[in-house]
Structures are given as C-alpha cells and as structure tokens.
Amino acid sequence: MSPARLIDRTRSVLDHAIEVYRYTPHGTRLAATRDRLDQPLRVAVAGRVKAGKSTLLNALVGERLAPTDAGECTRIVTWYQDGHTYRVRARVGREERQLRFDREDGQLNINLDGLRAEDVDELRVTWPAQALRSVTLVDTPGIGSLSESAARRTWDLLVPDEEETPADAVLYLMRHLHVGDVEFLRAFHDSEVSQPSPVNAIGVLSRADEIAVGRLDSMASARRVATRLGEDPDVRRLVQSVVPVAGLLAETAVTLTEEEVGQLRRIADLPPRDAEELLLSADRFVGTRPELGLTEPERASLLARFGVFGVRLASTVLRRKVAGTATDLARELAERSGLNQLQDLLSSLFFERRDVLKCRSALLAVADVVRDFAGPGSEALAGEVEAVVSSAHPFNELRVLSGLRAGWVSGKAEVVAELERLIGGAGGATHQRLRLPPDADRGELTTAAADALSRWQRRAENPLTSYELAVAAQVAVRSCEGMLADLTEHRDVRTRH
C-alpha cells in the first residue's frame, strides 16, 4: 500500500529541501529531519502535574528508569532511547555532558553532578531495552506545575514556536478532563500539514484506580469513565481514543518480585473480614495487626509499590486463586491495570502507522522552513510539499478522519462509524478496517473488502449524498482498493513461491 511510496516521496522532498537550503543553517536541521525519518517513532508522555507520566513510562519500558515520587518530581524533559550501551547525557544549551548514574532496587538514579535542574535543557537516557527498539519515549514535566519553568519546558517540547514538534505522537495522560487539558492538546496540533487530527494522540485516563478511590471494581468504573470521555465530541477531536490505566499497578506488575508475592500471600491468607479491616486505610495497613509478620518498612514499601488498590487487588487475586505463581500474578495484574490494552492500542494506532506519522512530522518541518525562510527555490519546494500532502492517500485518510472527528462530515451514525473504521480509525490493519477477527483468512477479507468497495462506490456516486460525505466516500473507495490490491499482491507473492 501507499505508505511505502509516501516515505519515498517524503524522502525525496527532504533531499530537495536539503539541496535548496544547503548553504543556510536550516540545512543541518533538515538533514536531522531526514535522519529522524529512519529512527524509532518518538512518543511523548504528557499531561498535568502528577498525572503519573513517569510511572506509566516505566510500565511501558518495563524498568524503573524514570524517577517517581509523591511530590512533584520530573523537572527536566528526558528522552529514553534504545542503544548499545547504558548512557545518560545532559544537554545544557549547545553543550552535551556525560552524567554518572547508578541503580538502587531497580530504580535508576541520575547524578546531576552539580548541575542545577533548571539549567539542564534535556536529559538523554540511552538504555538497551526491548521496548525501546520501536519507540523513543519522552518524559515531560507536568503542565500546571507550581514551578513555572518546569511547566514551560513541556510547552517548549510540544509546542515550539517555530519548529516542528520533536515528538511524532503523544500519549496524553488525564486524571479527569480539565480545561487545561484541552488547551494543551490544541496547542500540540499544527494545522499546516494534514490538518489537526486526532491521529497522533491517545488519551490515557491515568491513575485509574483513584477514580473509585481504590474499590475493587475501580477499573470497571474507570473503563466507564474512559468510554464516556472517548465519546465526548470535544475529546474525539483531540485524541484518538481514551483508555484507563492504573499506572502504578502496571509499573509494579512488569517489575514484580518473588519476595513481594510472598508478602502479599500473608495478607491473602487472612480471613477476608480481617483483610478488609487491615486495608481500610493506608495508615491501618502500616500500623495494625503485628501478628502478620511483616515489618513496618516492608508494609510501607508494599504500599509504595502497589498502592492501596494494588494491595487490595493482588491479595484478593491470590486468595481467590485466580493466580498462583508470581508470573501468573504479574500477568493478571498487567491485564487488570489496563497496560495490555494500552499496548495494543499503541501498536495499532501508532506503530503500524509509523511511516505516516514520521512523514507527517518531516513534511511539517519542511513546511515550517519554507514558510519562514523564503529563498530561491523555496517556492517550488512548497509546491512539492503540497503535492505530497494533498495527494498522498494516507494523508487523505487522516484528513477525513479528523473531518469525521470534528463533525464536519456527518451522516447516519452507522455509516459514519463504518467510514471511520474503513479509513483506519480503529487501526490500520486490514482486518481492523473491515471489522473482522485477526485470524480472518484472505478469502473472508477479500469478500468483505469488495463488498465495502461497492457499497462506498454507490455512496460516492449517489447524488443524494452530501458533498462532504461524497468526498469522504471517495477516500474510503481508495482505501478499499488499496486493501484489495494488497490482498491480491500477497496472493501473487505466495503463488510465485
């Protein structure tokens, strides 16, 4: 399908742009943009202060790299990227400096070596980790922070004044929809290439266990809230989807130790009533029932790792024998924390759309340079960017998607829903577009795609269809044709073998 071609076209636009701006300072920036095209997708984790950004980042990496704390904690924009060696570097202005670090209880500690946090522009942590192969994660200070400069850093990263955004996509953590959130997201979008679109943002209802203040059905409650938020028209315009994640539980699930499971078992062995009394409050858990055989520091560290909800849930899971071993428990907790669902969503909405998102960022960068620094040849370059942007099918899909999300394209609810799926709104894979199970065979897929094609052709040509829907229908037709072409191509490949 076209993304492959799109990336080639984008590359050639970039090559041309580098040529045009060769003897200017922008040449270097454009070269960096071209390099970035081949690097892993950059996903920023953003949101208000104490939304649980660092905790979620750790859960996604599977290691406790980002420092977390009850008080406000992340003060420096920090990049976590894959590499061959373990390394931490700080950028101060134009200067880069190597920093020392150590690990204690699995927690990474970075020694700022006399640097003041407010002087450091960004930290780059290079860490060989499986999870970082396909994605570079960016931890940001919260918005709405009491220290002004920490908040401004997030804005600088996501909404720079004259550059393309350094992140290709963003995970936006929200605790409850807050006016600050909407303003923030709006600023993240830029309208020059591919219109503002909910294509590169996923909403995460973070600290989901807090929504029902730690009741055992907290996650069910959180899912209801997330669904409602995800259906809100204003939210739909801004983020693709909203999923609930209990960040702390997720982080602990992926870093769970045997020792912790042993401690939890002692609680699980209590009679249910006693366990309930014990877990009534954090203070009670730390301070009562000395016969439990857990020391106060042990209990406090359990709370710090699991939270009240986590201890309640994990001990219940153990008592009900839903999970027996530490591995089982880790899997169960990861599932219940919502982490797995988020990872699925990340891969279908971001990773599979990697090329489109990358090209979007790159073209945005070229458009920025062309707009702000006109020179010989820049006009032609602008034309090239526009040609790619206006004709590339993936961008058309994105544009229709944002049109749908913004409510410009309207029609019967089920028609709009089908349209959204066909153009990849729920994920770019063919089965997702056709709303078939992942194991659907090629025959089923082909039939469904052909059906959709004729249905949407009819809609596109029907004079009663509104103009916007007809335009969108043409895009859907292209999407169907693309799927059919892919399916046939695969068959050809296979018959040839």
Partner 1 sequence: MTKAGTAPAAARAVDVVNVGLRACAAFDRPDLAARLTETKRRLADPVIHVVVAGEFKQGKSSLVNALVGAQVCPVDDDAATAVPTFVRHGEQPRAELWRGDNGTGDQREAIELADVRRHVVETPIGDGEPRVGGVEIRIPRALLATGLVLVDTPGIGGLGSAHAAASLAAISLADAVLFVTSAAQELTRSEMEFLRRARTMCPTVACVLTKTDFYPAWRRIRDLDAAHLAAEGDIPLLTVSSALRARAVKNSDAELNAESGFPDLITLVREQVGGSAEQRLATEAAAEVVALCDHLETSFTAERAALADPAAAQRVVDELTAAKSHVERLTTAAAKWSQTLSDGIGDLTSDIDFDLRTRIKEVTAEADQAIEAGDPADTWAELGPWLQARTAEALLSNYELLRERATELSEKVGEHFREATGALLTQPTVHDPTPLAAAEVGEDLDLKKMRAVKQAVVALKSAYGGAMMFTLVGSMVGVALGPIGLGIGLVLGHRGLREEKKRQVQKRRTEARNAVRRYGDKITFVAGKDSRDTLRRVQRELRDHYTALAEELNRSNARALTAAGEAAQRTKADREKRLKNVDAELARISQLRQRAEAVAGS
Residues at the contact surface with partner 1, assessed by CB under 8 A? 48-50, 70-72, 144-146, 148, 151, 175-176, 178-180, 182-183, 186, 189, 191, 195-196, 207, 210-214, 221-222, 224-225, 228, 233-234, 237, 280-284, 286, 300, 303-304, 307-309, 382-383, 386-387, 389-391, 396, 399-400, 403, 406, 408-409, 467-468, 471-472, 474-475
Rounded CA Rg of the chain = 25
Strands 135-139 and 169-174: unpaired
Question: Cβ closer to partner 1: 50 or 459?
Answer: 50
Q: Which of 283, 291 has the CB closer to partner 1? A: 283
Nearer to partner 1, 70 or 413 (CB): 70
> What angle in degrees, to the nearest 10, is found between the helix axes of 339-346 and 326-337?
60
Is the CB of 176 or the CB of 442 nearer to partner 1? Answer: 176
Compute the least distance from the CB of residue 286 to partner 1, in Å. 7
Least Å distance, CB 250 to partner 1, is 17
Measured from the CB of residue 257, what is the shortest distance to partner 1 in angstroms? 19
**3-class secondary-structure state, position 251:** helix
Question: Shortest approach of partner 1 to residue 115 CB, angstroms?
Answer: 24
Residue type, 99: L
Task: Using alpha carbons only, give the angle 66, 72, 74 rounded to the nearest 5 degrees.
Answer: 35
Burial 354-384 (b: 16+ CB within 10 A, else e): bbbbbbbbbbbbbbbbbeeeeeeebeebbeb
Min separation Cβ 91 and partner 1, Å: 26
Q: Are 371 and 46 in contact (CB under 8 A)?
A: no
In this structure, are residues 294 and 263 in contact, taking their beta carbons and an 8 Å threshold?
A: yes
Whose structure tokens read 């996903």? 43
- Rounded Cα distance, 310 and 318, in Å: 12
To partner 1, the closest distance from the beta carbon of 100 in angstroms equals 27
Cα-flanking dihedrals φ and ψ of residue 265, to 5°?
Answer: -60, -35
In the complex with partner 1, which residue's Cβ is closer, 186 or 490?
Answer: 186
For residue 307, the minimal CB distance to partner 1 (Å) is 7
Tell me 23's DSSP state. T
Q: 87: exposed, middle or buried (C-beta count within 10 Å: 0-12, 13-18, 19+)?
A: middle
Query: Residue 212 CB, nearest distance to partner 1 (Å)?
Result: 5
CA angle, 339 then 341 then 343, to 5°: 70
Cβ 423 to partner 1, closest distance in Å?
12
Nearer to partner 1, 36 or 189 (CB): 189
Cβ pair 127, 63 in contact under 8 A: yes
Q: Which is nearer to partner 1, 180 or 377 (CB)?
A: 180
Select from 116, 141, 57 the least CA-distant residue to 66: 57
Alpha carbon of residue 359 to chain centroid: 17
Between residues 36 and 299, which has the closer beta carbon with respect to partner 1? 299
Nearer to partner 1, 100 or 284 (CB): 284
Host H or E run for residue 485: helix 467-496
Residue 53 in contact with residue 143, Cβ under 8 Å?
no
Task: Enumerate residues 6+ apart whose C-beta is below 8 A from 133.
Answer: 40, 82
The angle formed by the CA atoms of residues 299, 302 and 304, to the nearest 5 degrees, is 110
Nearest residue (CB) to partner 1, 25 versus 233: 233
Closest to partner 1 by CB, 382 or 450: 382
Give the shortest CB-155-to-partner 1 separation in angstroms: 14
Q: Smallest gap, in angstroms, from Cβ of residue 311 to partner 1?
A: 10
3-state SS class at 201: strand
Tell me if 392 sits within 8 A of 400, measured CB to CB. Answer: no
User: Using CA atoms, how far apart are residues 106 and 102, in angstroms rounded to an integer?
Assistant: 9
Q: Which of 138, 145, 147 is nearest to 117 (CA)?
A: 147
DSSP string, 98-127: EEEEEEETTEEEEE-TT--GGG--EEEEE-
Nearer to partner 1, 71 or 376 (CB): 71
- Tell me how far, at minimum, the Cβ of 234 lies from partner 1, in Å: 5
Q: Which residue number, 49 or 167, has a Cβ lying nearer to partner 1?
A: 49
**Min CB(133)–partner 1 separation in Å:** 33
